[in-house]
Amino acid sequence: MPFETIVYRVDTGIACIRLNRPQRMNAVVQQLYDELRAALQAAEDDNAVRTILLTGEGRAFCAGADLKAHKAGRTAFARRQYLRGEQAICKQLITISKPVVAAVNGYAIGAGAEMAIAADFILMAASAEIGLPEISIGNFVGGGATYLLPRLVGLAKARELIILGERIDAQEALRIGLANRVYPDQGFIKHAWEFSQKLASKAPYSMQLAKENLNRSGEMTLDTALVTELEGMTFCATTQDWQEGVDAFAAKRTPTFKGQ
């Protein structure tokens, strides 16, 4: 696809999306949201894609909104459309059927942090930082941050991150349960790719069901969870991948899942 603000490629079951405005530390403009939405939909529709790896080109994951671009006389309507674009992207990251890995290679600030938080897994380079400074500049957070953060790190820590707007480093993000892994700066993308490959090797339908149920866990009763799990187990048992998993276990080999 002829993208200008992102780079999109698919390799060995992984759709890698790189935010590609390094001259502005991948700060967000409307075009980036539009192209990111299209790339995510392409990954969703491609049966060869098992997982999505989102990262940034250069020394930042995403430094938030491009305030310089936003000064260029936008109407109130255009500003609202831009803000709706961010909300739509984060919802797409949360609800897309395939697991999303945010590889935070540098600063993830504001909208950048919100996109990372909306992913299923956050991997951070050792020198990376993440923060939500919106309230400190008289703005407000978006992307579902007030919904997701308390579930990820607890209400008390979510209050600190959102209301105080404190930027935290990778080790602190790992300590509080926001980041899943921290890797050295050197070779970071290689580590993120290997992590994504582990996901890509799993059974697609099983991963999809796991993502859906985990995302709904805070809103389900125990009885509802038991019912949805039963339905999931029953469905998976009808797939070729289930038989492949059973056969591979019996033969003591690694299964090869086909999403069938």
| Tens-place pLDDT, residues 191-244 | 999 999 999 999 999 999 999 999 999 889 999 999 999 999 999 999 999 999
Give dist(CA 144, CA 260) in Å, integer.
33
pLDDT of residue 260: 86
If DSSP codes are grouped into helix, strand and coil, which group holds residue 190? helix
Interatomic CA distance for residues 95 and 33, integer angstroms: 16
Concerning whether 57 is annotated as a catalytic residue, the answer is: no
What percentage of residues in the chain have a pLDDT greater than 70? Answer: 97
Distance CA 139, CA 142 (A): 10
**Helix, strand, coil distribution of the chain in percent, nearest 5:** 50, 15, 30
Note the pLDDT tens digit of each residue in 163-187: 999 999 999 999 999 999 999 999 9
Domains of the chain: 6-200 (3.90.226.10), 204-251 (1.10.12)
Please name the amino acid found at residue 189: I
114 is catalytic: yes
- Give the per-residue pLDDT at 10: 96
Confidence class for position 70, pLDDT limits 50, 70, 90: low
Which residues touch 24 (CB under 8 Å, ≥6 apart)?
63, 66, 68, 69
The whole-number pLDDT of residue 85 equals 81
Q: What is the 3-state secondary structure (H, E, C) of 93-135?
A: HHHCCCCEEEEECCEEECHHHHHHHHCCEEEEECCCEEECCHH
Average pLDDT value for the chain: 93
pLDDT of amino acid 72 = 61
pLDDT at 184: 98
Instruction: Give 66's pLDDT tier (boundaries 50, 70, 90).
Output: confident
Q: Is the pLDDT of residue 6 over 90?
A: yes
Q: Which helix (H) or strand (E) holds 223?
A: helix 222-236
What letter represents residue 243's amino acid?
Q
Residue 71 pLDDT more than 70? no
Active-site hit among 57, 114, 160, 219: 114
109-168 residue pLDDT tens: 999 999 999 999 999 999 999 999 999 999 999 999 999 999 999 999 999 999 999 999
- Residue 73 has a pLDDT of 62
d(CA 159, CA 150): 8
Given a contact cutoff of 8 angstroms between Cβ atoms, the answer to whether 5 and 25 are in contact is no
pLDDT higher at 260 or 130: 130
pLDDT for 1 equals: 65
Catalytic residue among 134, 166, 212, 229: 134
- pLDDT over 90 (residue 74): no
